[in-house]
Amino acid sequence: MARYLVTGGAGFIGSHVVEALMERGDDVRVVDDLSTGRRSNLAGWPDIELVEADLADEDVAARAVAGIDQVIHLAAIPSVPRSVRQPARCHRANVEATLALLLAARDAGVRRVVLASSSSVYGESEALPKHEGLCPSPLSPYALHKLIGEQYAALFARLYGLETVALRFFNVFGPRQSPTSQYSGVISLFTAALLAGSSATIYGDGEQTRDFTYVADVVAGVLAACAAPGAAVSGRAVNLARGERISVNDLYAVLQRVTGGNSIEATYTHPRPGDVRDSQADISLARKLFDFEPAVSVEEGLRRTVEWQRSVATERESS
């Protein structure tokens, strides 16, 4: 039985990773400052070790990795708009915390660190689908922070022998992605609006495309990266996505159907600074390195997400 540290483990993606590890019998420690994560996301495991702390503190990072075999680093401020407004604050959470964790993992003899990166590192590259051989071109502080994290991880693999894998996530969605969070994704926001009978906001003309990936597929990819041979994956950055793209307008139309034929039209406003126009992943490297294969279609993922949001609303009304 391996011992895992999951940073950001009370958050949206992190809690799903924790759930998968716990269900297969692994020992898990969670570090989360609970700025966006919720204790309720871990309610199924009341005895889990949860450390509420700031990972950018080197002492916290050192204590967090003590006795750990593998680290899954998901903690971050995952917001392009906030990084534009508060680049220094986001740099601390996204870069300084990652460096502190890598240093602590190196010194503690951790075997591997799997860390979340982002498709935003590609910037406005015209190439589609986006593959790992493209030159990164960040358009926002958040994208730059993620790229720096990748490069630190690769350096630690090369200089110190710490196995690292950076996974470039593409627009992850699913249950536990709260529509009330300031970091909420477009799908949870659209779903909440449609279920409430309100108009959702679309930035730009809606023809921008994204590679939406259901959270269960991301969790499967994360665990596969943890298990892959070190010689094959260490120091690499790898796309993790469904490998398909859909426009925001078409996404909204599917959600209208999934939520029961809602005919409420979206409201359009100006594009957001730092957002890319089109995004789609080439996932051939993930398939090659750790047999990754997404299993949940966008429409099925949307159905599950809508079902979850409805259940949460019902629980709130009955409490």
Listing DSSP states for 55-111 in one string gives TTSHHHHHHHHTT-SEEEE--S---HHHHHH-HHHHHIIIIIHHHHHHHHHHHHT-S
Torsion of the alpha carbons at 281, 283, 286 and 291, rounded to the nearest 10:
140
- Which pLDDT does position 183 carry in this prediction? 64
pLDDT of residue 33: 95
Q: How much is the pLDDT for 97?
A: 98
- pLDDT at position 312 is 87
Low-confidence ranges of the chain (pLDDT < 70): 182-183, 317, 319
**11 and 122 housed in the same domain:** yes
CB 48 within 8 A of CB 69: no
Return the pLDDT at 175.
96
Q: Which of 4, 122, 142, 252 is catalytic?
A: 142
Asked if residue 186 lies in contact with residue 261, where contact means CB atoms within 8 angstroms, the answer is: no
- Write down the pLDDT at residue 189: 93
Say whether both 93 and 190 belong to one domain.
no
Q: What is the pLDDT of residue 180?
A: 77
Annotated catalytic residue 160? no
CATH number at residue 267: 3.90.25.10
150 lies in the same domain as 252: no
Looking at the structure of the chain, the number of domains it has is: 2
Here the CATH number for the domain that contains residue 54 is: 3.40.50.720
pLDDT score, position 319: 63
Q: How far apart are CA 147 and CA 213, in angstroms?
A: 20
Model pLDDT, residue 182: 66
Sheet architecture: strand order including 3-7: 49-51, 27-31, 3-7, 70-73, 112-118, 163-169, 236-240
CA-nearest of 74, 106, 38 to 221 is 74
Task: Check residue 262 and give its pLDDT.
Answer: 78
Query: What single-letter amino acid sits at 239?
Result: N
Q: Are residues 123 and 203 in the same domain?
A: no
Residues 53, 119, single domain; the answer is: yes
Are residues 229 and 268 part of one domain?
no
Strands 27-31 and 70-73, bridge-based pairing: unpaired
On whether both 22 and 71 belong to a single domain, the answer is yes
pLDDT tens digits, 68-99: 999 999 999 999 999 999 999 999 999 999 99
- In a domain, residue 180? The reply is no
- Sign of the alpha-carbon torsion through 16, 251, 129, 244: positive
Query: What's the angle, vertex CA 131, arms to CA 126 and CA 132, rounded to 5?
Result: 120
Per-residue pLDDT at 20: 98
The crossing angle, in degrees rounded to 10, of helices 298-318 and 186-195 is 50
Rounded CA-CA distance 172/121 in Å is 16
Give the count of beta carbons closer than 10 Å to the beta carbon of residue 64. Answer: 23
Domain assignment present for residue 129? The answer is yes
Contact predicate 215/175, CB 8 Å = yes
How far apart are alpha carbons 315 and 305 in whole angstroms?
A: 15
Token digits of residue 269: 């406003």
For 108, the domain range is 3-173+213-243+279-290
pLDDT of residue 273: 85
Beta bridge partners of 163: 112
Check whether residue 126 and residue 254 sit in a common domain: no
Residue type, 41: N
